[in-house]
Structure 1
Amino acid sequence: MKAIQFNNLNKTPIRTKSWVNINDISLGELNVGEIKKFDNVIIKGIEGVDVQKLENNKILPLYREFQYGISEDLINQGKENFNQGYLITIGRNIKNDEPVIIEFNFDKDNSSLVDNLIIVGEENSKASIIVKYKSLDDSNGYHNGICTIYSKKNSEIKLTKVNFLNDSTIHFDSNVSDIEEDGKVDFISVDLGGKYSIYNYHGDLVGDKSAANINSIYLGSKDKLIDINYIVTHKGKRSNSNINVKGALQGEARKAFKGTLDFKTGAAKSVGAEDEYCMLLSKEARAKAMPVLLCAEDDVSGEHAASSGRIDENKLFYLMSRGLSYDEAKIVIVRAAFNPIIDAIGDNDVIEEILQEVDRGLKNE
């Protein structure tokens, strides 16, 4: 194990008062295992989508470079020192509703993963990719993932990332999408594990009538720390974005949500909205949020909201009066908030796995 400092991570595009303590996140010194071979990977492919394994030092830059990610050091580690990497190419005019599924399984022999995923949607294509990170035992783990998405003209890409890691694992996840004219990227994030879960997503709407949708759920238990930083930049005319986040915290879990909609000059007639809601299931849980609108274009529409609160006692009383226990009623209410996002994943087996993990997480606190 090697001790590494993780400080000033996941910085917001603009700074607010330092006493709010949301501009970035510092984890201090953490022990990280050696980055060696990671062999426990399962891939389910589909027709028309090419999944090609990447090798270190053999990647040519695709299209253009981006400024994104949790930190420069973590992005560089993902680019230069990954131990798993894949180039996923959705062929021109290919449209397939069945998902590509990539499952990274952690155990004592595969405990440190640095993965580099590149997804390219060629013109007029449509496909779904599901990536699962799963712990098979209780061993300490480290994950740093980077993902670059290129959505070409009139392509549609749905990327779902699911965190089933144990509560002894560090989880970093950085994503960026480059979306051309009439392109669309749907990003779904499901966070149900890890001791530290740090997320960064930057959607770049460069083309006219491009679209970026972010749907995210999280469940924090014990002393887990969650830090989420979602940014969508509107550059193309009539571009559209939506950020929808639902979460629940119990025990002494802590969460910080940072969401930014940035309308650049030239993004006329563009529309963006963001909404984050956190259910606090214990008195010790803590939630912070910083929704931001930045605007350099007059003719746009932007909405933002963030809130947190206890579960409605009237809802609990009603459900318990129908014979449910407190824990059962709590699960019903949390599931009701999560279900629209979970259902959008579109794969019944993955959906059932997520629902079981949500139930387990709520019962075990």
Structure 2
Amino acid sequence: MNEQLNNLPVLTWNHLGVNRAGQEFALPEVPQLESAEKNLTMSVLPSTVERIQEFPIDYKDMESGIGSAYDNYIAKNSNVSYFLKVKQETEQTIRTKTCITPDHKTLAGDFGIYAEEGSSLVWMQESVSDEEAAGFSTELTRIYAKKNSRVRLIQVQNLNRSTACWNGVAIYAEDGAKVEVVRAILGSSHAAYGTRAELKGRESSYQLETIYFTDQSQIYDFNDVANHYGKNTQTDMYTAGVLAGESSKILRGTIDFKKGAVYAVGHESEEVLMLGEKVRNRTVPLILCAEEQVEGQHAASIGRLDETQIYYLISRGLTPLQARMLLIEGRFAPVLDKIPDEQLREELASQIERRLKENEPK
């Protein structure tokens, strides 16, 4: 399919190659997919959370960061769905896992959280695949946060290198609602991620924290947008990543202060560590403003590990690998610490260390 995905809200020079996702992210054309309900496992829901059959908000009223063409693709092709209505404050973390297997190689997941006034929820979504499975995963999560509700969405993607991945998130926040998205992205041959937050309500807020690690020939493409409409709204976007091998990545981060969003605040930052001579990084921070009384900041730190810091740590008894791992852990900790499963955190840390070792300078 030739739809344009992950479009930069305001286009720049085409020769820079950052206006949209490349052709490698064209959505696969497939016949009607067979049900993938068996590919989804989920935790038992508490009494404060109800699984509902249909999401209350239409696709056209909530657009993901990947774009409406992608959202319509999910609406047409989804073969697994899971929608939650949150009625009260919920202490239990809801967990779901989707798995690509040799028998079920294609997944189009349609997910959603409808958080009622004053409610709260933490939902962790994990995407994995069997070693020998080759296929694709497409997922869309819509979050409608009513007045004074709180939602945290944690996404962990650890698919194999024979699997492609697309993942969109659409957010609508009413007065005082707080939405947080946490992403740990390590797998797949190429992955496109896009979030869009519509901060409509007064004093609503959105926080996005992302870590990623690419090596070999992996390609990642991000498009994250926060639109401020309400007064005193706030956005914080933080991304930390490692590029190794011959991998590449594009990050588009947009904060848009609409007319009327007085006293709104938006911050975005990225830290990129480049561990190979053949990696390619492109970072596009964008702040748009139609309102005077706002505060917007963006920052990017792109480069290699500080050899002075590494030398200092080695002089204190660490090996070069341990020193590099310690510096990377410091950047990844804000996300890893929010994963509620200790065993999963340790598995991810071990994988990062292994891949770092594989990409040590010769």
TM range (shorter): over 0.9
Aligned to 1:223: 217
1:31-54 per-position Cα deviation (integer Å, ceiling 9, x unaligned): 777632321221013413435364
Specify which of 171, 190, 206 is matched with residue 184 of structure 2: 190
Aligned to 1:77: 73
Q: Verify the 8 A CA contact 1:46 1:99 in the aligned structure 2.
A: no
Unmatched segments (≥5 aa) in structure 2 = none
Specify which of 34, 37, 48 is matched with residue 36 of structure 1: 34
Aligned-residue offset at 1:62: 4.7
1:234-260 per-position Cα deviation (integer Å, ceiling 9, x unaligned): 000001110011101100110111000
Aligned-residue offset at 1:20: 1.4
1:118-161 per-position Cα deviation (integer Å, ceiling 9, x unaligned): 10111111110000001122321201111110000000000011
Q: Verify the 8 A CA contact 2:62 2:171 in the aligned structure 1.
A: no
1:282-328 per-position Cα deviation (integer Å, ceiling 9, x unaligned): 11111111101111111111111123100111122222333433333
The whole-number CA distance in structure 2 between the counterparts of 1:74 and 1:6 is 11
The whole-number CA distance in structure 1 between the counterparts of 2:323 and 2:2 is 39
Q: Is residue 255 of structure 1 aligned with residue 249 of structure 2?
A: yes
1:100-119 matches, within 5 Å, as 100-119=94-113
Relative distance call for 1:33 and 1:313 in structure 2 (3 A) is farther
1:204-283 matches, within 5 Å, as 204-283=198-277
1:73-93 per-position Cα deviation (integer Å, ceiling 9, x unaligned): 4321211221110111111xx
Q: Secondary structure at the match of 2:355?
A: helix
1:127-166 matches, within 5 Å, as 127-166=121-160
Aligned to 1:19: 15
The whole-number CA distance in structure 1 between the counterparts of 2:140 and 2:199 is 19
Relative distance call for 1:83 and 1:211 in structure 2 (3 A) is same
The whole-number CA distance in structure 2 between the counterparts of 1:256 and 1:275 is 14
The whole-number CA distance in structure 1 between the counterparts of 2:169 and 2:126 is 15
Q: Secondary structure at the match of 1:353?
A: helix
The root-mean-square deviation of aligned C-alpha atoms, in Å, is 2.1
Aligned to 1:121: 115
1:245-281 per-position Cα deviation (integer Å, ceiling 9, x unaligned): 1101100110111000000111111111000111101
TM-score, length-scaled by structure 2: 0.92
Query: What letter corresponds to residue 303 of structure 1 in structure 2?
Result: Q
Unmatched segments (≥5 aa) in structure 1 = none
Q: Verify the 8 A CA contact 1:203 1:233 in the aligned structure 2.
A: yes
The whole-number CA distance in structure 1 between the counterparts of 2:67 and 2:173 is 22
Q: Is residue 301 of structure 1 aligned with residue 299 of structure 2?
A: no
Aligned to 2:308: 314
Q: Verify the 8 A CA contact 2:236 2:267 in the aligned structure 1.
A: yes
Aligned to 1:10: 6
The whole-number CA distance in structure 1 between the counterparts of 2:291 and 2:27 is 43
Query: What letter corresponds to residue 51 of structure 2 in structure 1?
Result: Q
The whole-number CA distance in structure 2 between the counterparts of 1:292 and 1:77 is 27
The whole-number CA distance in structure 1 between the counterparts of 2:324 and 2:30 is 37
The whole-number CA distance in structure 1 between the counterparts of 2:207 and 2:27 is 33
Q: Secondary structure at the match of 1:279?
A: strand
Q: Is residue 285 of structure 1 aligned with residue 275 of structure 2?
A: no
Specify which of 85, 88, 113 is matched with residue 89 of structure 1: 85
Aligned-residue offset at 1:107: 1.5
Relative distance call for 1:89 and 1:197 in structure 2 (3 A) is same
The whole-number CA distance in structure 2 between the counterparts of 1:6 and 1:357 is 35
The whole-number CA distance in structure 1 between the counterparts of 2:167 and 2:292 is 34
Relative distance call for 1:361 and 1:37 in structure 2 (3 A) is farther
Relative distance call for 1:181 and 1:26 in structure 2 (3 A) is same
The whole-number CA distance in structure 2 between the counterparts of 1:16 and 1:160 is 32
The whole-number CA distance in structure 2 between the counterparts of 1:140 and 1:31 is 13
Q: Verify the 8 A CA contact 1:144 1:171 in the aligned structure 2.
A: yes
Query: What letter corresponds to residue 37 of structure 1 in structure 2?
Result: S
Aligned to 2:170: 176
Q: Secondary structure at the match of 1:12?
A: coil
TM-score, length-scaled by structure 1: 0.91
The whole-number CA distance in structure 1 between the counterparts of 2:305 and 2:90 is 40
- Percent same amino acid at aligned positions? 28
Q: Verify the 8 A CA contact 1:125 1:154 in the aligned structure 2.
A: yes
Q: Secondary structure at the match of 1:354?
A: helix
